[in-house]
Amino acid sequence: MSGTLDGLTIIEIGGIGPAPFCGMMLADHGAEVVLVHRPGAAPDLRDPLNRSRARLVEADLKTPEGAALVRDLARTADGLIEGFRPGVMERLGLGPDALLADNPRLVYGRMTGWGQDGPLAPAPGHDIDYIAVSGALHAFGRAGEKPTPPINMVGDFGGGGMLLAFGMVAGLLKAQRTGRGDVIDCAMTDGSSLLMSMIWGFRQNLPAPLPPSLAWRDERGVNLLDTGAPFYEVYETSDGKYVAVGAIEPAFHIALMRLTGLGSDPDFAMPFDPDQWPRLKDRLAAVFRTRTRDDWCSDPDAQAACVAPVLSMTEAPDHPHNRAREAFVTAQGVMQPAPAPRFRDSPARRPE
């Protein structure tokens, strides 16, 4: 059996972070990804982001010979991905106009922070900057506290590498259908904004069934999903560990009341009243501190209440569910997440 992208060849111009993540996604699912790297800077293949590559090619793109090598590779490839600032590939003679002139079917993926145009396009930056300008960073954090960057999941990987992988697959489908490739301008600031689409709807009190009291407020830690609500929060347990509570729907909330023994408490009769949330959170916090994390999570009502243990990276691979699904694998001595998503008839490559 072959991966879903078997038969496709992608040229990856070596970089860091989101572009290699896109290359990993495509390679995991069967594409032949040829990773081009600078002389003397061969990538460490133990790094999960570098796994599944078909082969490595050394080339100094600043030399005519190196640029010619990449151009030759691109003539027969289905796609190319790069993560330089705007204009760099053009100055090397490897911009999309040149490569699509050689190969009209080529899908040319460009991964940047700010995009190919706009006043910030040439500026340096990192994930934290891109999600700051998109409005996403403002939403992460607790009430009364400064914004907390969600490491670099939202800009680099969710709004960057994952979105570029989607763009590449969409472009490849178009090329197969029409015989014409395309150029993908994937900007992390655009992607992080896109990931906030549901919250933008909530901000305008959509969808309509939401109670008006739950309209999203443009401040941290006071809303339904940002630790404002007592039933969507992380609580410390007696052993200094934590449980995650996601008891939003009424049936889950009833189970949470059973689990905590607060079912007969009149204070919890109106859980969707934001004015009561700070006080209800204090009550729940006191209850959760009376038992250990694992004791809470082994309670029969825990799953019904959408209560889960907050596992460390050390613990997560050994969780029974993760073990059953083989969600983590070890390759070259490195523990790492297994490829995803899963296809029934075309399984992804297993990292080796």
- DSSP secondary structure of 7-67: T-EEEEE--STHHHHHHHHHHHTT-EEEEEE-TT----TTSGGGTT-SEEEE--TTSHHHH
304-313, pLDDT tens digit by residue? 999 999 999 9
Report the pLDDT averaged over residues 187-199. 97
pLDDT of residue 211: 76
- Whether residue 79 is contained in a domain is answered as yes
Q: Tell whether the model's pLDDT for residue 1 goes beyond 90.
A: no
- Classify 4 as helix, strand or coil: coil
Task: Please state the rounded mean pLDDT for residues 320-335.
Answer: 96
Q: Is the pLDDT of residue 258 over 60?
A: yes
Count CB atoms within 10 A of the CB of residue 99. Answer: 24
Question: Residue 213's pLDDT band (boundaries 50, 70, 90)?
Answer: confident
d(CA 92, CA 112) in angstroms, rounded, equals: 17
Based on the fold, state whether residues 43 and 177 are members of the same structural domain. Answer: yes
Does residue 302 share a domain with residue 240?
A: yes
DSSP per-residue letters across 293-329: HHHHHHSHHHHHTTEEE---TTTGGGSHHHHHTT-EE
Instruction: Say which of 28, 78, 127, 156 is annotated catalytic.
Output: 156
Looking at the structure, tell me whether residues 53 and 169 fall in a common domain.
yes
Q: Are residues 253 and 172 in the same domain?
A: no
Residue 156: active-site member: yes
Q: Within 10 A of 282 (CB to CB), how many other CB atoms are there?
A: 10
Q: Summarize the confidence of residues 118-139 as an average pLDDT.
A: 98
DSSP state of 185: E
CA gap 24, 165 in Å, rounded: 9
Same domain for 180 and 240? Answer: no
Count structural domains, the chain: 2
Lowest-pLDDT choice from 209-218, 233-242, 250-259, 276-285: 209-218
Q: Which residues pair with 56 in a beta bridge?
A: 35
Residue 325 included in any domain: no
Same domain for 163 and 300: no
Sign of CA dihedral 326, 42, 168, 110: positive
For residues 182 and 150, give the distance between their C-alpha atoms in angstroms, rounded to a whole number.
32
Does 336 map to a domain?
no
Same domain, 275 and 179: no
Please say if 126 is a catalytic residue: yes
Is residue 99, in this structure, part of any structural domain at all? Answer: yes
- For position 266, which CATH number holds? 3.30.1540.10
Q: What is the mean pLDDT of residues 272-296?
A: 96
Task: Name the percent of the chain lying above pLDDT 70.
Answer: 99
Q: What is the rounded average pLDDT for all residues in the chain?
A: 95
What is the token pair recorded at 324? 């059953």
CATH code for the domain in which residue 109 is found: 3.40.50.10540
Alpha-carbon gap, residue 35 to 9, rounded angstroms: 11
In a domain, 122, yes or no: yes
Q: Exposed e or buried b for every residue in 50-59, given b needs 16+ CB within 10 A?
A: bbbbeeeeeb
Residue indicated by tokens 């993760």: 322
Q: Please indicate, yes or no, whether residues 188 and 236 belong to a single structural domain of this protein.
A: no
End position of a domain, from candidates 148, 174, 194:
194
Q: Residue 214: is it exposed, middle or buried by C-beta count within 10 angstroms (0-12/13-18/19+)?
A: middle
For residue 203, tell me if it sits in a domain. Answer: no
61-105 per-position pLDDT tens digit: 999 999 999 999 999 999 999 999 999 999 999 999 999 999 999
The verdict on 182 and 237 lying in the same domain is no
Verify that 183 and 239 share a domain, yes or no: no
pTM, rounded to two decimals? 0.94
Give phi and psi for 144, each to the nearest 5.
75, 0
- Is the residue at 320 inside a domain? no
- 258 and 183: one domain? no
pLDDT at residue 90, rounded to an integer: 98
Distance of alpha carbon 40 from the chain centroid: 31
Separation of alpha carbons 136 and 183, rounded Å = 26
Any domain includes 305: yes
The whole-number average pLDDT for the span 131-150 is: 97
Same domain for 181 and 297?
Answer: no
Please tell me which residue in 37, 126, 138, 319 is annotated as part of the active site: 126
Pick 214 or 62 by higher pLDDT.
62
pLDDT at 155: 97
Query: If residue 284 lies in a helix (H) or strand (E), which one and from where to where?
Result: helix 277-288
pLDDT (0 to 100) of residue 223: 95
Average the pLDDT over 343-352 and give the result: 92
What distance in Å separates the CA atoms of residue 147 and residue 7, rounded to the nearest whole number? 44
- Number of other CB atoms surrounding residue 190 within 10 Å: 20
Over residues 178-186, mean pLDDT: 98
Average pLDDT of the segment spanning 141-162: 97
Q: 170 is in which domain, residue-wise?
A: 9-194
How far apart CA 231 and CA 66 sit, in angstroms, is: 57
pLDDT of residue 209: 66
> What local confidence, expressed as pLDDT, does residue 204 receive?
86
| Cis peptide preceding 278, ω within 30 of 0 | no
> Between 213 and 237, where is the model more confident?
237
